[in-house]
Chains A and B, each alone.
Chain A
Amino acid sequence: DVKVTQSSRYLVKRTGEKVFLECVQDMDHENMFWYRQDPGLGLRLIYFSYDVKMKEKGDIPEGYSVSREKKERFSLILESASTNQTSMYLCASSKSVLLAGGDNEQFFGPGTRLTVL
Chain B
Amino acid sequence: GQQLNQSPQSMFIQEGEDVSMNCTSSSIFNTWLWYKQDPGEGPVLLIALYKAGELTSNGRLTAQFGITRKDSFLNISASIPSDVGIYFCAGRRGTSGSRLTFGEGTQLTVNP
Contacts and interface: CB of A to CB of B under 8 A. Distances in A.
A47 to B, nearest CB: 11
Contacts of A4: 42
A98 B98 CA distance: 9
With a 10 A CB-CB cut-off, give which of B44, B48, B100, B105 has the most chain A CB atoms: B100
A43 B88 contact: yes
The bracket for how many chain B residues form the interface is 20 to 34
B66 to A, nearest CB: 19
Nearest to A100: B96
Given A43-B88, A45-B1, A59-B1, A108 B42 contact: yes
A97 B33 CA distance: 16
A53 B1 CA distance: 24
Given A90-B43, A109-B42, A111-B42, A40 B97 contact: no
Contacts of B43: 43, 90, 108
A107 to B, nearest CB: 8
Interface string A72-113: 000000000000000000101011111111101111111100
Nearest to A33: B99
A97 B95 contact: yes
Interface majority SS (helix, strand, loop, mixed), chain B: loop
A59 B48 CA distance: 23
B6 interface: yes
Size band of the A side of the interface?
A: 20 to 34
A98 B96 contact: yes
Q: Which of A42, A96, A107 has the most CB of B within 10 A?
A: A42
Contact of A42 (B42, B95, B104): B104
Contacts of B48: 101-102, 105
Contact of A99 (B6, B88, B96): B96
Interface in B1-34: 1, 3-4, 6, 9, 33
Contacts of B4: 42
Given A100-B50, A104-B96, A110 B40 contact: yes
Given A43-B88, A110-B41, 6 more contacts: A31-B97, A42-B88, A50-B97, A102-B45, A107-B45, A111-B40
